[in-house]
Structure 1
């Protein structure tokens, strides 16, 4: 009671506990200082020692032990035991002065308050560490996602660069092949005509037919190469894809054979698509051939149309985000592994036996779709079949019924007496083209370069038409024509091109372009049409 009153006078609240059990309860309730007599500690102290040993890490509750007179550490062996058990303990010998008790109590209470402050600071620090750790974890997740996205972009970029490099190489090779095929096909046609007039044995002309068929196959392969490299000349128009698919039914059935069933699912409210219908038919036909080879005997070929809205592409062959019309060609064949799927759009890659495929079918489909402003997606699993989606941009324009242009009339119907300047840096192409034109009755002047063409025009003012190769070293065909417009503005011009250049001729009328390799009838018709357009202009005046 004496100690309680002394502390009360110093504004320190003190509660009296009759035993150690009550003391432990008060300590557990939040007491800040334990003031206990030495006599009280001679009883059972296990509960008190247990509470002291289980304090949280921040807590070190202070105790003041009131010892008997002469009971200091040096004279009281039990004091050492108590100091070790209680930890933060101060011994105060009785009798004590009131000031001493108050001073000891206030000192220990200040120490206890510092413990509370350290606890608060430690909790704040832990909270900030946890918060910062969470922020770092979130930042790390974002960084990992960015790294993963960057790796995907880099892989896509490398693949696009590789395909672009292959495309540039392919277009150059295809251009050279078209020159060679022009020479072969042109000479075959000239020989066939000559042998027919001479009444040569039909067996020999049959051999020429084999040569022509082989060269035409080469021309089709070259066209696929140029489709992959996106250098072909497209004529996009608003089309109804349902109509195109419906009109292909007979062609598809004859291509894949009677053992394979065709299932078409056409979207009734399908939007129009901006596409070159001829090239789309070729793309669908290529997919049907691949499906046929994957299924063998039996199976189902499905062709479906749909309106789709796509998000950002996941692979380089897929189109940008937007609204598209899709054609999906699916089969129930063997499917393909992920390793094969990664390579299917590479030119010349094929899983077919040697001689069974060129590896250009899907390359042509991809090149056509991307040049049309769309893209391709492929879905396949081993043993589950394959689905190839062609995405083409939607258009608000209304489709028109496509009427195929009639074949150009026979060469004999397009003969003439005019003077033609033929310009081509390839001597073989120039020679066979000149032979065909002379056989039609035209007078032909030949030039192997742009400079020679300009000189020939000055020397022969009677020239009625210029037939010129678009891609020539030095002065190109376009450069020559630009100079001609200054001096001969009404002189008609027809460009000969190996298709690789045809994107550069987007502003030139199709009637003034002829692609290599060409048929003599096609050449004759183009020349006659260009000459006739000038004659009609004169008559109108």
Structure 2
């Protein structure tokens, strides 16, 4: 017994001996020091004082069961639990239990080892391992040429890092809040679809948004969580949101078969993966948007340059046809030929206007427009244009506010949408044009659609609808699903450009087999009086003033001079801004400056106007252009009363614009 006492006291681990009643009958000095008691103070105390208070009652029951059948239910060595020191400080311990026979009674000896350092070492190793997997995930997302391939690999990487058999990544649908599986491992397709549906329709998205540290652990035993894990062998599931500007873009979900599988370090690892993945998606999205914007800008510059040259050529063609028609007798058979060619030139001008509108290069001339009147004007025309198979209905309540748009471009936009709808209904169908008023509150506002009151025009058809892939590209220029030669791909792009230029917003809602609805949002105008523009086809008015024509294209300049002379005006000409300024200095009899906006080298037309009015304050001015981007301050000149006549122009349009510019000067 003396030898046993010596071994007991000198053992490296803390040792306590407990009786059947749970009272400590013997404790060695290492136990006193480990738990913070003085020599002999542990003897006579219940063993539960060495455990946290919240588990003492449960331990009492567990101890009683073990002591009743110690050989049948041995706890053995290496069992980990939490001990508590005399000062209340908890710490991790590892214990080993064994029965000890003392005469006719059985005692129970427990060896206790502080494993705080061991646990910290294990945590450090686990964190280092997680860091290595994070580095691998980061390298994968950065180096992969395709984000979809990288995302597919992330699910497998997470499962490998956590030694779990399953992991899945879900993303929100672009049009609604439903979740769709983007990548998964270890789960059958049917279960994946079921989980995606349950996660979309349950409270999980809002739960993770409110969860601590942006993550949530759902246990089968938790209220409501059983519905998510129903039909599976999983006990827990970690759900981590993929953060985005306006709420989670998706979820990272890792199910586990063991309860309490997700500690702090593991959740931190999952959240780091989720943040990294969301950042990669946002970066990819930004790169795609930048690339798309660059393509649009490049195409816009190309179309603008082409439109400038093409409109100059059309001015020459149309002008010569008009001059030829003016020289023919009233009933000449050649007159119909000239009229036909003139109409073709006008159609070419309309196409060029569409290109400029798509490229956002055409300066709009907006005014207050009444939605009801606009729909009434379009309804009859569409009914004749779309054919008998298409039933056209319009819906517009009374007292809808006016909108501030270019009337011609607005009509063109609605006609384009109606024609697209007709093409989507080859066997006929219903086309509905409706108007409503919507108030966008602050909570529902976005950079694309700020808070305010909007008049919303919706063009809905009962056609074939679009696939998600087609819908994603519907606004791209030159993208079309029509057969070769039956569509340019500019229609919807042109509408988008017009709506954006008008300060509005366009949305596309389509479902394959159920039709398409396109919504145009325009800011509402309150208490704005509508006015009708002067008719462009007014009688041709002649004049006697002297007009200075500034145009760098000789053939275009010749047409302008011929028009003016036929109207009775005296003319002078210049091929550059410098020559025009010299003419103004040397000829005070010049009554009006008529200049192109784009003049090649040197000053632009807008800059020439400022310089000319420096020499001749209040000089009447009329600008013309087929492409206004060459003058970035054309809008400033418009505010000063300088009109713009678009190329190609008809002689009656030139006449009306000249008289208006001269009259405006005389009224000052």
**Equivalent residue runs for 1:217-366 within 5 Å:** 217-268=347-398, 270-308=400-438, 309=440, 311=444, 319-323=448-452, 324-366=454-496
Aligned equivalent of 1:407:
536
Residue 458 of structure 1, aligned match among 585, 593, 614: 585
By relative contact order (CA 8 Å, sep 6+), the higher-ranking structure is: 1
Q: Distance in 1 between matches of 2:455 and 2:282?
A: 28
By percentage of residues, which structure has more helix? 1
Aligned equivalent of 1:487:
615
Q: In the superposition, relative to structure 1, how do residues 301 and 128 fare at CA in structure 2: closer, same or farther (>3 Å)? A: closer
Q: Check conservation: 1:377, 1:390, Cα contact below 8 A.
A: yes
Residue 561 of structure 2, aligned match among 408, 411, 434: 434
Q: How far did residue 140 of structure 1 move?
A: 2.6
Q: In the superposition, relative to structure 1, how do residues 53 and 158 fare at CA in structure 2: closer, same or farther (>3 Å)? A: same
Q: Distance in 2 between matches of 1:47 and 1:347?
A: 80
Aligned equivalent of 2:97:
61
Q: Which moved more, 1:50-59 or 1:507-516?
A: 50-59
The C-alpha deviation readout for 1:299-332, integer Å capped at 9, x for no partner, is: 110112223338466xxxx933433321110111
Residue 398 of structure 1, aligned match among 502, 523, 527: 527
1:521 aligns with 2:648: no
Q: Distance in 2 between matches of 1:7 and 1:457?
A: 118
Q: In the superposition, relative to structure 1, how do residues 131 and 343 fare at CA in structure 2: closer, same or farther (>3 Å)? A: closer
Q: Check conservation: 1:232, 1:503, Cα contact below 8 A.
A: no
Q: Distance in 2 between matches of 1:141 and 1:271?
A: 46
Q: Distance in 2 between matches of 1:52 and 1:132?
A: 28
The C-alpha deviation readout for 1:445-478, integer Å capped at 9, x for no partner, is: 1111111111222332221111111111211112
Q: Secondary structure at the match of 2:457?
A: strand
Q: How far did residue 179 of structure 1 move?
A: 1.0
TM-score by length of 1: 0.75
Q: Distance in 2 between matches of 1:430 and 1:437?
A: 11
Q: Distance in 1 between matches of 2:548 and 2:348?
A: 29
Q: Secondary structure at the match of 2:547?
A: strand
Asked which structure has the greater CA Rg, the reply is: 1
Aligned equivalent of 1:182:
315
Q: Check conservation: 1:238, 1:274, Cα contact below 8 A.
A: yes
Q: Check conservation: 1:511, 1:529, Cα contact below 8 A.
A: no
Q: Which runs of 5+ in 1 are unaligned?
A: 16-24, 35-44, 68-104
The C-alpha deviation readout for 1:363-405, integer Å capped at 9, x for no partner, is: 221111000111211122333222111111234x224334242
Q: Which moved more, 1:261-270 or 1:150-159?
A: 261-270
Q: Secondary structure at the match of 2:382?
A: helix
1:423 aligns with 2:550: yes
**Equivalent residue runs for 1:74-113 within 5 Å:** 112=111
Residue 477 of structure 1, aligned match among 584, 587, 605: 605
By percentage of residues, which structure has more strand? 2
Q: In the superposition, relative to structure 1, how do residues 139 and 462 fare at CA in structure 2: closer, same or farther (>3 Å)? A: same
Q: Which moved more, 1:119-128 or 1:342-351?
A: 119-128
Q: Distance in 2 between matches of 1:416 and 1:347?
A: 45
Q: Check conservation: 1:349, 1:360, Cα contact below 8 A.
A: yes
Q: How far did residue 292 of structure 1 move?
A: 1.6
Aligned equivalent of 2:231:
none
Q: Distance in 2 between matches of 1:236 and 1:345?
A: 23
**Equivalent residue runs for 1:101-250 within 5 Å:** 112=111, 114-115=112-113, 117-118=114-115, 122=119, 130-196=263-329, 201-202=332-333, 204-250=334-380
Aligned equivalent of 1:20:
none
Q: How far did residue 224 of structure 1 move?
A: 0.6
TM-score by length of 2: 0.62
Q: Check conservation: 2:547, 2:572, Cα contact below 8 A.
A: yes
Residue 572 of structure 2, aligned match among 445, 469, 476: 445
CA RMSD of the aligned region, Å?
Answer: 3.9
Q: Which moved more, 1:265-274 or 1:146-155?
A: 265-274
